[in-house]
Amino acid sequence: MDLRILIVDDSEATRRLLRAIIGSREWSVCGEAENGVLGVEKYEALKPDLVIIDLALPDMNGIEVAQRMSSLDGSIPLVLFTILDLEGLEGPARQAGICQVVSKAQVWDLIRTIDTAVTQHRLPKVQGPEING
């Protein structure tokens, strides 16, 4: 199963780590964005199967990014991946269309979260264009 994942995170180190984790599975990174505006643009252009979004982005927070993405297509699972305290994030995250919140301190929980999203959303779906970077 080739699950196409978009990564939206301002940290190059985190994007590199996520590429390694994603590449260890039968998944692929179809695109990356270092800020929210670019993330939403790539979401619309690439039509990924799943999106991993950082909460603390330089131009808007991950909740706002998720709201914009969900307004374009609410069927694509969005995962909020953050180093910040998770307490109080679940409600706003769910309202924004995020299916799961994962702590960066628990990076290996991300694999289980993606597997769950694949099962719950019956992914992957029709492939979109691939653009890296």
- Average pLDDT value for residue range 8-21: 95
pLDDT at residue 44 greater than cutoff 50: yes
pLDDT tens for 47-92 read 999 999 999 999 999 999 999 999 999 999 999 998 876 677 888 9
Match 């196409």 to its residue by tokens. 4
Q: What is the pLDDT of residue 127?
A: 40
The encoded tokens of residue 24 equal 């260890």
pTM of the model: 0.87
C-alpha 46, offset from chain centre: 13
pLDDT at residue 128 greater than cutoff 60: no
- Which of these CATH numbers, 1.10.10.10, 3.40.50.2300, 3.40.50.720, 3.40.50.300, describes 3-121? 3.40.50.2300
Q: Is 97 left (phi over 0), alpha (psi -120 to 50) or beta?
A: left
Confidence band (pLDDT; 50, 70, 90) for 1? low
Are the C-beta atoms of 60 and 36 separated by less than 8 Å?
yes
The encoded tokens of residue 38 equal 């670019």
pLDDT at residue 130 greater than cutoff 70: no
Alpha helices by DSSP H, the chain: 12-23, 36-46, 62-72, 90-95, 109-121
Average predicted confidence (pLDDT) for the chain: 87
The encoded tokens of residue 82 equal 């953050």
Q: What is the pLDDT of residue 129?
A: 37
Q: What is the pLDDT of residue 133?
A: 40
